Structure 1
Amino acid sequence: MTETDVAFDVVARPSAIDRVTSIRLSTKYGSFLAVGYLDPDRGEEQIALVFGDVAGEGALTRLHSECLTGDVLGSRHCDCGDQLSASLRAIAREGRGVLVYLRGHEGRGIGLLAKLQAMKLQEEGLDTVEANLALGHPADARDYRVAAEILHDLGVRSVRLLSNNPRKSEALERHGVEVAEQVPLLMEPSEENLAYLLTKRERLDHLLPHLDGAVGA
């Protein structure tokens, strides 16, 4: 049986999203099965990168919010690109896991242009939470329903979640995916993103104990 066969052996329940296609995707981190989905409620295209047989219990899992500036352009304002790379490496090293790349989550769900506006406000002295609120948006507008639906479709019943954000764990549990363990994903802070990371810890409850020893923390 191939990895492609294994990935779709189990479908836990009827899905509210449409699985459109799957292909083998060779990356610098390893060879993943890229599974494309369409969320008919929002019209958004989504992708999961699957490594090995993830059906059942305890798959190492990352729910990664889309971040064009960090993931693609290498912005030092955030740690998103580093977290994406570290997650794919960890999943490949584990030999079993899935990364759900969540489109529509740019700027914690406010969109690309609003995120750029928020970044401008941060240059003027607001923190990332204050900037979102000043623009009339929630501090965090993300919805993890589609991520849970993708995991259900892949037959994933419980996860070891690569995240520092306890709200992701709570969201998955609400949508019927057990979080067996929250696995820290701690990136070395830089001078450019330290204030941003401290705000995530102090205002958004992210678990970032390694910042205690950082300069200026």
Structure 2
Amino acid sequence: MNAALDPRGRPVIRGCVEQATLGEISGWAFEPGAPRHRVLVELRLDGGILAVAPADHARGDLVPAGIGDGAHGFRFALQPAWAARLPDLQVVARAAAGGAVLLPPQRRVEPPHSQVVQVINQLVQGQQALEARLQAVVPVRMAPDAEQRLAVLEAWMARLDDRLARLPAAPPAAPRGPDAWQVALGTLLALVSLGALIGFALLLAL
């Protein structure tokens, strides 16, 4: 199967070097024109090939990104002599139908300086707003002599309560006699009762 070619005649291979340390070099490589093909990756130094490995390591993060079936990772363990010249090492990917592509290091997009300054300013403004809210919530501090005045007031109230407790109790109110209405009503009831008794006595006499 022929490899897909870019306008300049080189094979189209997607990939990059993600990690380059003194111990290893790793990354991924994928050929969209031959998705089932495992790209051969070469580790080179000064034009010579140090090692060759297929990009066939399973990578779970590649599938969601649309990189084939995900099995397109590679890794080279570096010998001490290779690690000593780490900046001079190159990683080249070979296409199924021939041709090679130099795999670039992974690019990290850094925010422009103006955006960094804007983010810092927003953080500072947010912190200032938070401090203002906290100061509004904290109660106002009392005057230096406020606690002493409060203690004197409490002592005065305690003495007042003690004096009120020592006052003699009020004498009980004298019993009140019946008023005029109660006397008239009682007299009327007595007369009615007397009249009823006299009438009942007359009935018995007859």
Q: Give the TM-score normalised by the residue count of structure 2.
A: 0.24
- Structure whose CA Rg is larger: 2
Q: Give the TM-score normalised by the residue count of structure 1.
A: 0.23
